[in-house]
Amino acid sequence: MSRPLRIQYPGAFYYITQHGNSSLKIFAGDEDRRAFVDILAHSMTTYGVILHGFTLLTNHFHLILETPRPNLSEFMRRLGITYAGYYNRRHRHRGNVCGGRYKSIVIDADRYLGPVSCYLHLNPLRLRSLQRRRLADRLDYLASCKWSSHN
């Protein structure tokens, strides 16, 4: 059975997420995250994609994107291939960095951009290591999260 086609049209908003291969790390540290952000920025310029929000966690990332042209697949292909090349060279790794296809959900921006943005930006609070901490500590962690567009 073939995969369903991606919904692409001019002016579409998407919530994107992708996990590491077997949920392994895709960012070993801040240097990897910086490289990902640089590759993301360059890909956005190349394809004219607009970023509305992001969160980079250890084993996955979340993006909210707008595509003025219907080119999400090409954009994500370039982002994935370029980052995998960087990661594999830096860590002497072979093969895929991310596991499977990225998940993309078309967003009705007028109705759901706010709630999806909240979900994306609050995602770091779902870390197991934070679950038993006091609310004030969790909010401090969120405010200090530098790999998110929250701030």
For residue range 23-59, what is the model confidence (pLDDT) as tens digits? 789 999 999 999 999 999 999 999 999 999 999 988 8
E-assigned strand segments in 68-146: 103-107
Q: What is the mean pLDDT of the chain?
A: 89
Tell me the CB-side half-sphere exposure of residue 135, using CA atoms within 13 A.
Answer: 0
Neighbours of 110 (CB within 10 A): 8
For residue range 60-87, what is the model confidence (pLDDT) as tens digits? 999 999 999 999 999 999 999 999 999 9
Residue corresponding to tokens 């540290």: 29
Which comes out higher in pLDDT, residue 36 or 132? 36
Neighbours of 139 (CB within 10 A): 12
Residue corresponding to tokens 């596991």: 99
| Residue 62: per-residue pLDDT | 96
